[in-house]
Amino acid sequence: MEVLETTIPDVKLFRPKVFGDERGFFMESYNRNTLKILCGLDVEFVQDNHSRSTKNVLRGLHYQTEQAQGKLVRVISGVVFDVAVDLRQSSATFGQWSGSVLSGQNHHQYYVPPGFAHGFVVLSESADFLYKTTDYYAPEYEQCIRWDDPDIGIEWPFEGEPSLSEKDQAGVSFREAVYYD
């Protein structure tokens, strides 16, 4: 596995080794020891999630004020643009975002640490999105920041308007958001 640079050092982008031939491919999608050796990432994942979304569906920017979740995300079919926004007030990158294209073909994985809002938009006709979390989903602590907040200024790579859930339509501005210490 190779660690690729992102615009925020705590957000990690991984490119696993993929072994393929005309029959298909094999890759190790997660190995705790490898991540610890490569970048000092030693976390325990407690929950796996799978979502399927259609083109222009935008999910996020989500986070939990308690039980903050680190997420290791990947796409097994389709293409998404995945985003992490630093909400840690003590961080040098507070309020900044990092984004990466994840696809079933590039096999890249994105690690979004606790203390970040997370979201993605589907660029293909559909996408299957998998993620591991370091803490359990706790809807009573869930927050949502507007995907198009001008203070964050995410450069989403799609045209037109995204398809949003009611929760995402009701997202607050970055200035109104609850931050981490």
Identify any residues that bridge with 102 across adjacent strands, giving them in sequence order: 80
In a domain, 2, yes or no: no
pLDDT digits (tens, 9 = 90+) for 144-155: 999 999 999 999
Residue 118 a catalytic site member:
no
In a domain, 181, yes or no: no
Minimal CA–CA distance to 48: which of 129, 121, 120?
A: 129
Q: Apex CA 26: angle with CA 6 and CA 57, to 5°?
A: 50
Catalytic residue among 110, 111, 131, 179: 131
Looking at 21-30, 53-62, 86-95, which range is the least confident one? Answer: 21-30
Q: What pLDDT shows up at residue 12?
A: 95
In a domain, 142, yes or no: yes
Catalytic residue among 62, 107, 108, 118: 62
Q: Residue 159: pLDDT above 90?
A: no
Report the percent of the chain where pLDDT is more than 90.
92
In a domain, 22, yes or no: no
State the chain's mean pLDDT as an integer. Answer: 96
Residue 131 a catalytic site member:
yes
Residue numbers of the domain that contains 88: 44-176
E strand spans, the chain: 2-4, 12-15, 18-21, 24-27, 47-54, 58-64, 71-77, 79-86, 97-103, 109-112, 116-122, 126-133, 142-144
User: What mean pLDDT do residues 52-60 have?
Assistant: 97
Q: What pLDDT shows up at residue 74?
A: 98
In a domain, 30, yes or no: no
pLDDT digits (tens, 9 = 90+) for 105-138: 999 999 999 999 999 999 999 999 999 999 999 9
CATH of the domain at 48: 2.60.120.10
Comparison of pLDDT for 35 and 129, the residue scoring more: 129
Q: How far is CA 67 from CA 43, 59, 86, 134, in A?
A: 14, 20, 16, 9
